[in-house]
Structure formats: structure tokens, C-alpha cells
Amino acid sequence: MSSSPAPLLSGAGSNRTATVPAPAALGARPRRARAGATNAPQPSMPQANPGLRRAPHRRAMEAARQAAPITPRAGTPSCAAHRTAPIDEAGRPPCRKATAASSTTGAMGRAVFLDRDGIVNWRIVGDYVRCAEEFVLLPDFVDFLRGIKALGFLSILVTNQQGIGKGLVSPDAVAALHEQLQQHLQRTLGSGVDDIFVCPDLEGSNSPYRKPEPGMLLEAIRKWHLHPAQCWMVGDSASDILAGYRAGVRTVLVGAHPPVPYAEFHVRNLWEALEVIAQHTAPELSRSTS
């Protein structure tokens, strides 16, 4: 693994500074979220403890503070070009879309499922990410992805995108964003995420694929022959966590949120999410992938 961190995107501002549970360091049992629990105020970033072993890839994460943009493909339309989305004869876009994006095999039978907005890139509160100018990676995502790949996990993006269903953003625009993300990850890590599932269905549509329903995860589990008990859902919302719980995978809630039912772990950032996953990954399984 390279000691030089890949350049990352950065965005101005963050809404992840509110009270959250204390970090769970390697060697200590992580704090579990409980519905109705009250958390004491904590600093917005984890504090180093010299008596504890560093999490895998933590040094690279701490050094990753330079910004570099994802380069749009030549001819990629601007935001204004993606304000409308075609729909089918039934009045809605296709329910789901999956894109295989990596040569990684599913031989280990395990994966980390990732929400997109708020985990991979900055969330636009009250709106949708429509184009490359609005798609800004969170500072630690690339190194987090490097970490889970090193641990032998597939990485699978599972994202609700009802902006498509509302006609506010086109399916082609979303596909172009994901293609640019994959190209950026290919340049920085040598490979992208292993699969991408998109559900454009509207909230309240009773779609079996829209989170908190587990359809996207269950389809990925079948496709990649995964063992749910060896998989994780990493998200920043109650719908992410409930989808993971319903699919039978372990769950990590990321960010400054009140406790969420079925969140097995509640951490402040992707650094700590990687710590939790690394701590609960059998060492012999990690070694077998290296």
C-alpha cells in the first residue's frame, strides 16, 4: 500500500460538528447506538490516544488534506443541461440500475455497502447533486475506500436518487457522475468501486429497492454471492441503517446524528468507520487477500 495519499476533493463547510458518540479505537469495544440514548458533547474530530494502536491507513488519512478536482469528461454538459429527466411510458424511470465497475472478485463473500450523498460526496441539503460541479468528494473517502479494499472487501454503492423520478435530474447525468467518480478512483487507487446500484423511485412509492427497503442490497448479495453476516452497510441516515438491518448485514451510522435504531455502531467519520470494520474483520481473512 502506498504511503502517499491520493489527492482528494474537498468542500467548504460541514454539517458534521454536532454531538456524537466518542470514537471507538482499535483494541476497545466500539460504542453501540441505542434508541433514546443521550450522548455527552464530544469534539468534532477524534482525539489521538498514543496508548492505542492506529487503525489501518490512519496515517495516510491524516495526511490527506490536498484538494484535486474530478476532471469532467470532454463534452460533459453543465448543471443547466440536467434539469429534466426522461421517463418511461408508465410515467417513471426504470426502478433500478446496476453497473459492474471493477475486476475485483467476490471470492471472499463480503462487501461494504456505501450510501452516496453524505458518505462519498458532500450532501446538498434540500436539493440534489445534478452535475460534476456539484459532486465534491468528502475529504477522507478515497483513503477509506483504500482501507476497505486492503481488508479484502468489495465496495458497492447503493444510492436513492429520487431526483430522477421527480424529473429534476436525468439518468444520464447520474451515470456521468458515477463514470467520473470511477475514473477518479482508477487514477488515484488503481480501481473504482466494484458495483453501483441506483434507485430513482419516489419516497412513498412502496418500492422494494428504495432504502429503507433492502432490495438493492439483496440484489447485490445475490449477484456477488455474498455472506450477509460478513458485510457492512455504511451510511449517514436512518434509511441506510434500516436497509442494512433488513438485508442482514452489520451497520455503521456515520456523522452527527441522534441515535438510530438498528445502528450497530455510531461513529463520527469515515476514519472511525474503518476502525470498526477493521476491528471486526478476522485477521486471517485480511491476510488471505494480501
> Quick one: which of 210, 195, 125 has its CA closest to 161?
210
How far, in whole angstroms, is CA 13 from its chain's centroid?
A: 19
Q: Which of 115, 143, 201, 240 is catalytic?
A: 115
The backbone torsions φ and ψ at residue 205, rounded to the nearest 5 degrees and listed phi first, read -85, -5
Give CA torsion, residues 215, 216, 221, 222, to 10 deg: 70
CB-based contact 134:79 (threshold 8 Å): yes
Cα separation, 177 vs 174, whole angstroms: 5
Which residues, at least 6 apart from 22, have a Cβ–Cβ distance to it below 8 Å? 31, 42
Q: Which of 117, 195, 236, 240 is catalytic?
A: 117
- State how beta strands 195-199 and 97-100 pair: antiparallel
The neighbouring-strand residues paired with 251 are 233
Spell out a b/e string for 124-156, using b for 16 or more CB atoms within 10 Å of the CB, else e: eeeebbbbbebbbbbbbbbbbbbbbbbbbbbbb
The answer to whether 115 is a known catalytic residue is: yes
The answer to whether 143 is a known catalytic residue is: no
Q: Is 31 exposed, middle or buried (0-12, 13-18, 19+ CB in 10 A)?
A: middle
The one-letter amino acid at 149: K
Q: Which residues are catalytic?
A: 115, 117
